[in-house]
Amino acid sequence: MTVSSPDDREKTTRREFLGELGTLTALATLAPASAAQTLSPNAAACLLTPAATEGPFYLNDAQLRSDIRDGRPGQPLRLRLMVVDADHDCTPVQGALVSIWHCDAEGSYSGEDGPRDATRFLRGVQPTSADGAAAFVTIYPGWYRPRAVHIHFKVLLANAEVLTSQLYFSDTLNREVLGSHPAYRARGVPTRGNAQDGIAGSQPPLVHVRSGPEWLDGDFIVGIARGGAQRRGVRSSL
């Protein structure tokens, strides 16, 4: 891709940007099987999604809704999480509650100013359907130090947590989206990639992303141990 000046990039149309992004997202999906999952519940190797820290910004009063944007600017993203039982041949799990939350384009979370802050942007809960899927309409997450770009999520069954974890995007895609879309441009691209994020680890769970005329579509298979409800732990500082 030709490197252009800031003025030239400002003139790039959204359609041209998404056309370039399609090539990058295709490359981003060519990750090792241990890092990026095949989007099929009948995969030969059904893996448990690794647990990760809840972080300090979880709120247990997120609304039951699929569109969680609340007018926040950013690259539109449709995120589909398919919950499967990793102990039973990736059988789809119906009726689980999936809760997600992430920061906005400026790196801020709703509710981080304390209980008096009633806003709940970029937070929501959805039940899984018969195919195990929970779908959300959101924006591509921003970033903040010392973290890489990520989305937090929880899976609950019968009001018990079975998984708390975080999802990531390829470093190439992060640089392209956050370096090109005007909502993120003031903050710039992330200072740390996934490999430099102490929580992401060497093989972070990567969202499978495809580009469309206006949207990015992200998918991830969440493998859970249906009988392994977790006790809520102490929140970390990240």
Helix locations, the chain, DSSP H = 6-11, 14-28, 171-180, 182-185
Q: Is residue 28 predicted with pLDDT exceeding 90?
A: no
Q: Does 24 or 147 have the greater pLDDT score?
A: 147
Give the residue extent of every domain in the chain.
Answer: 6-224
Q: Is residue 138 predicted with pLDDT exceeding 70?
A: yes
Q: Model confidence over 96-118: pLDDT tens digits?
A: 999 999 999 999 999 887 655 56
Q: Does 152 or 35 have the greater pLDDT score?
A: 152
Continuous segment of H or E residues that includes residue 217:
strand 216-224
3-state secondary structure of 214: coil
Q: Model confidence over 206-232: pLDDT tens digits?
A: 999 999 888 999 999 999 998 765 433
Domain 6-224 has CATH 3.40.50.10490: no
DSSP per-residue codes, 41-54: TT-SS--PPPP---
Tell me how far apart the alpha carbons of residues 189 and 109 are, in angstroms, rounded to a whole number: 18
What's the pLDDT band for 205 if we cut at 50, 70, 90?
very high
Q: Model confidence over 34-43: pLDDT tens digits?
A: 333 445 545 4
pLDDT above 90 covers a percentage of the chain that reads 64
Mean pLDDT for the chain overall = 81
pTM of the model: 0.79
Q: Is residue 23 predicted with pLDDT exceeding 50?
A: no
When pLDDT is averaged across residues 11-23 and rounded to a whole number, the result is: 35
Beta carbons within 8 Å of 204's beta carbon, 6+ residues apart: 35, 148, 166, 168, 194, 197
Q: Is residue 129 predicted with pLDDT exceeding 50?
A: yes
Tell me how far apart the alpha carbons of residues 164 and 55 are, in angstroms, rounded to a whole number: 10
